[in-house]
């Protein structure tokens, strides 16, 4: 063992306090050397140990009828989708790297999440992204967005992933700190899932993929470089893993991401409940002069660590060799209680893996937080005069970046995939026609105004989209993006958000099967660091069964009746309209009621199963007007609707009160539709009918849908 004198002062310089230093010494039975102290420093950091957040995310519901592996149990969530198959899906985030090198930050985010999915034996099939950028008019914002979108697209295309779009939003709080959240999903037969396979002494530990460099070594601020992806190697690596899994040649796979080899080996050790020996001289390097710390903690992309049985090693080497992927034996599982790293047969570090891994022995911090008092509901309509000219309001609203982008993505999705677009993105995953649906949902304005309620709305909105698409929601992943947890106000937002997610996910029976926490997301404002709005992103999985239940949001036929399920309300709280037209931003949350959401969802599911509706579309950002125009655009149809006398027109058109779905109904099915609605007891109203292309509201023409389409193209 290499012994180097270390002091408490050095430990504190590395972020380890006296209590932590004494704990390390006690657990390993001696004073740690410098390398060991550096390893503890990184493994106990916020990014790796989740020391501020773990106890809270550990409280999230993660079990359910279809859940095979929930949050904290594996590298990605595993959900039983029937017919002998599992869906594996995961969300990841590369916010900080994307703020420095947006192309590589976004590309490597896709690669990282893909390797987490394939580490469980599933072939990655699709990617969705949830992106946040600063003020839309800024040149920096345009550059960041172009590079991030290109990074996601380029990496996905090499892996033949179906890029299903997602959501893009703008807010000045992200001016210097973009949010790049990515969800990847794949499917694996039940008998091929790489989960909980028995690890025993004598099995070998291999490393495969890129040679190790100094990229992304966490904790080295002065020499830190953004890791760069190589989708060509990434694709070959994934193909090789899938071939080996078909041959039952792999026991376990760990993606080499944050804290690199140390984190992967520690994870293997705690799950095997035994020791691991690693020979650092066997790790292939792509540059000379690397320190041991850099080798162990590097975040070089396109790398994995595998556990294999001895008798399978030649098969493994052969498969990787044919793919021109370097693969080396670097160690073995041993009869011991520690992980040992050697160089030239000298032990340079020996550690207890249990002390290092999140959720096992890594220490947790009890951050200060407080209950966030609910705001007294404000009736904004009392003090805001009704617009005198709705033409002007609509012309301004259709040019709001957050609403333009939504239309642009939906139109592109329709044109490029030649599918019938739905509120959720639809994918058929095998020859049996198994149809899954996915969506990503986030609204940082709601979450800023009321973190608990905002989180619940994000989940309810994701559920509503899947229901409108004809699906049954099964499970969710989350990405929780916040400012510094050292700020009590920020950490209080985080705590309230987790409480909201827990409440809504349990209510809708959509367990949390995976996720990610990203702290220290801040922008510089006049030389001061200011936290972003709390930005929880929900990624949800659903299944459409039978596939004939698939429902689109587009209007099909002139003359079809348009109905609103749920109630119109005199409510403009938290809306794009309130912010953009009346300059009252970050105030209020729209009306929301969980019980009403569930009743409406159950009813719409019944209507779709009975084939009584031609389209179904959730009312969301921009309110009813944008819901109607989104359904009109794809086939060039329009609408003629009438507002109820008791609801002010701006609230009717642009309010964002929750629990509302717009459906279209053919004249032949109208009587049956009304019968089901009356029997249900759920509020509904007739809005009007589908036109040939004109947009009419309260007998006033607002042009043709073709004029609006030109604005977006």
Same domain for 170 and 120: yes
Asked if the structure places residue 64 within a domain, the reply is no
Asked if the structure places residue 525 within a domain, the reply is no
Asked if the structure places residue 21 within a domain, the reply is yes
Same domain for 218 and 346: yes
Q: What is the pLDDT of residue 7?
A: 84
**Nearest-angstrom CA–CA distance, 152 and 128:** 9
Same domain for 140 and 37: no
- Quote the pTM value: 0.94
Same domain for 18 and 93: no
Read off the pLDDT of each residue in 557-562 and give the average, rounded to a whole number: 97
Q: Of 335, 356, 377, which residue is a domain's last?
A: 356
Annotated binding site for ATP: 50, 90, 478, 515
Beta-carbon contacts of 170 under 8 Å, excluding residues fewer than 6 positions away, are 132, 133, 134, 135, 136, 141, 401, 402, 405
Dmax (CA) of the chain: 85
CATH code (residue 188): 3.90.650.10
Same domain for 230 and 88: yes
Q: What is the pLDDT of residues 32-91, one digit of tens each?
A: 999 999 999 999 999 999 999 999 999 999 999 999 998 677 889 999 999 899 999 999
Above 50 in pLDDT, residue 599?
Answer: yes
Above 80 in pLDDT, residue 445?
Answer: yes
Above 70 in pLDDT, residue 22?
Answer: yes
Closest to 106 measured CA to CA, from 126, 130, 125, 122? 130
94 annotated active-site? yes
Residue with tokens 């936290």: 531
**Nearest-angstrom CA–CA distance, 163 and 158:** 11
Annotated binding site: 50, 90, 115-116, 478, 515-516, 518
Q: pLDDT > 70: what percent of the chain?
A: 95
Cβ atoms of 477 and 463 closer than 8 Å: no
Q: What is the pLDDT of residue 12?
A: 86
Same domain for 213 and 102: yes
Asked if the structure places residue 485 within a domain, the reply is no
Same domain for 112 and 37: no
Asked if the structure places residue 189 within a domain, the reply is yes
Same domain for 135 and 24: no
Same domain for 614 and 577: yes
Dihedrals φ, ψ of 384, to 5°?
A: -110, 120
Asked if the structure places residue 247 within a domain, the reply is yes
Q: What is the pLDDT of residues 474-498, one digit of tens each?
A: 999 999 999 999 999 999 999 999 9
Confidence of residue 199 (pLDDT cuts 50, 70, 90): very high
Above 70 in pLDDT, residue 447?
Answer: yes
> DSSP string spanning 178-244?
-EEEEEEEEEEEGGG--SS----TT-EEEEEESPB-STT-TT-TTT-------HHHHHHHHHHHHHH
Q: What is the pLDDT of residue 413?
A: 43
Confidence of residue 407 (pLDDT cuts 50, 70, 90): very low
Annotated binding site for substrate: 115, 518
Above 80 in pLDDT, residue 525?
Answer: no
Asked if the structure places residue 234 within a domain, the reply is yes
Q: What is the pLDDT of residue 712?
A: 60
Confidence of residue 528 (pLDDT cuts 50, 70, 90): confident
Residue with tokens 């004598």: 202
Same domain for 578 and 709: yes
Q: What is the pLDDT of residue 23?
A: 92
Q: What are 407's two structure tokens?
A: 């239309």
Active-site choice (94, 271, 550, 617)? 94
Same domain for 123 and 41: no
Cβ atoms of 439 and 543 closer than 8 Å: no
Annotated binding site for Mg(2+): 116, 516
> DSSP string spanning 97-155?
HHHHSHHHHHHHHHHHHHHHHHTTTPEEEEEEEEEEES-TTSHHHHHHHHHHHHHHHHH
In this structure, how many other beta carbons lie within 10 angstroms of the beta carbon of residue 482? 27
Above 90 in pLDDT, residue 659?
Answer: yes
Among the residues of 544-680, which ranges form H helices? Answer: 576-582, 594-609, 624-632, 649-654, 670-680
Confidence of residue 379 (pLDDT cuts 50, 70, 90): confident
| Boundaries of domain holding 608 | 551-713
The beta strand positions in 365-511, using DSSP E, are 425-428, 435-441, 472-481
Same domain for 208 and 111: yes
Domain count, the chain: 3
How open is the CA angle 278-280-286, to the nearest 5 degrees?
135
Read off the pLDDT of each residue in 126-132 and give the average, rounded to a whole number: 95
């Amino acid at each position: 063992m290499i012994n180097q004198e270390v002091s408490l002062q050095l430990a504190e310089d590395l972020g380890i306090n006296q209590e932590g230093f004494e704990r390390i010494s006690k657990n390993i039975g001696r004073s740690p050397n410098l390398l060991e102290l550096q390893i503890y420093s990184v493994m106990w950091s916020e990014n790796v140990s989740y020391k501020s957040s773990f106890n809270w995310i550990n409280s999230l519901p993660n079990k359910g009828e279809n859940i095979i592996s929930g949050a904290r149990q594996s590298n990605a969530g595993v959900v039983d989708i029937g017919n002998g198959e599992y869906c594996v899906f995961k969300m990841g985030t590369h916010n900080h790297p994307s703020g420095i090198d947006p192309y590589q930050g976004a590309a490597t985010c896709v690669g990282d999440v893909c390797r987490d999915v394939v580490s469980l034996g599933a072939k990655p099939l699709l990617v969705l992204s949830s992106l946040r950028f600063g003020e839309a008019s800024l040149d920096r914002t345009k550059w960041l967005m172009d590079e991030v979108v290109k990074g996601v697209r380029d990496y996905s295309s090499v892996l033949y992933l179906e890029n299903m779009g997602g959501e893009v939003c703008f807010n000045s709080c992200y001016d210097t700190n973009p949010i790049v959240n990515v969800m990847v999903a794949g499917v694996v037969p039940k008998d091929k899932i790489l989960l909980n396979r028995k690890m025993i002494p004598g099995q070998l530990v291999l490393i495969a993929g890129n040679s190790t460099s100094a990229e992304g070594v966490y904790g080295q601020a002065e020499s830190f470089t953004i890791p760069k992806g190589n989708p060509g190697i990434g694709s070959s690596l994934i193909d090789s893993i899938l071939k080996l899994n078909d041959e039952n040649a792999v026991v376990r796979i760990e993606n080499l991401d944050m804290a690199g080899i140390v984190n992967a080996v520690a994870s293997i050790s705690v799950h095997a409940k035994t020791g691991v020996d690693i020979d650092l001289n066997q790790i292939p390097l792509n540059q000379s002069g690397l320190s041991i710390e850099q080798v162990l903690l590097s975040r070089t992309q396109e790398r994995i660590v595998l556990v294999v049985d001895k008798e399978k090693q030649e098969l493994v080497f052969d498969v990787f060799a044919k793919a021109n992927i370097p693969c080396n034996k670097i160690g073995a599982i041993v009869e011991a209680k520690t992980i040992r790293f050697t160089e030239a047969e000298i032990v340079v570090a020996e550690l207890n893996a249990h002390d290092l891994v999140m959720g096992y022995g890594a220490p947790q911090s009890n951050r200060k937080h407080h209950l966030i008092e609910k705001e007294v509901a404000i009736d904004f309509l009392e003090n805001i005069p009704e617009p005198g000219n709705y033409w002007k309001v609509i012309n301004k609203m259709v040019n709001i970046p957050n609403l333009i982008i939504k239309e642009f993505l939906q139109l592109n999705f329709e044109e490029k995939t030649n599918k019938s677009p739905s509120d959720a993105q639809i994918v058929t995953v095998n020859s049996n026609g198994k149809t899954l649906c996915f969506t990503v949902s986030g609204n940082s304005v709601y979450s800023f105004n009321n973190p608990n309620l905002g989180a619940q709305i994000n989940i309810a909105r994701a559920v509503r989209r899947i229901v409108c698409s004809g699906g049954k929601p099964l499970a969710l992943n989350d990405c929780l993006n916040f400012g510094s947890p050292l700020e009590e106000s920020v950490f209080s937002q985080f705590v309230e958000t987790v409480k909201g997610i827990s409440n809504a996910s349990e209510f809708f029976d959509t367990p949390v099967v995976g996720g990610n926490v990203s702290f220290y997301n801040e922008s510089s404002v006049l030389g001061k660091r200011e936290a972003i709005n709390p930005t929880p992103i929900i990624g949800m999985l659903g299944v459409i069964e039978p596939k004939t239940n698939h429902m689109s949001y587009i209007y099909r036929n002139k003359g079809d009746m348009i109905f609103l399920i749920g109630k119109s309300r005199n409510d403009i709280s938290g809306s794009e309209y309130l912010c953009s037209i009346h300059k009252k931003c970050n105030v209020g949350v729209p009306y929301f009621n969980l019980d009403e959401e569930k009743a409406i969802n159950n009813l719409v599911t019944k209507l779709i199963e009975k084939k009584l509706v031609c389209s179904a579309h959730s009312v969301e950002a921009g309110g009813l007007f944008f819901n109607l125009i989104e359904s009109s655009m794809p086939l060039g149809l329009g609408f003629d609707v009438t507002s109820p006398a008791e609801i002010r027109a701006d609230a009717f058109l642009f309010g964002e009160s929750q629990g509302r779905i717009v459906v279209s109904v053919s004249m032949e099915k109208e009587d049956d539709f009304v019968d089901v609605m009356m029997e249900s007891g759920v509020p509904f109203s007739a809005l009007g009918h589908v036109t040939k292309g004109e947009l009419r509201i309260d007998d006033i023409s607002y042009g043709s849908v073709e004029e609006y389409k030109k604005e977006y193209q």
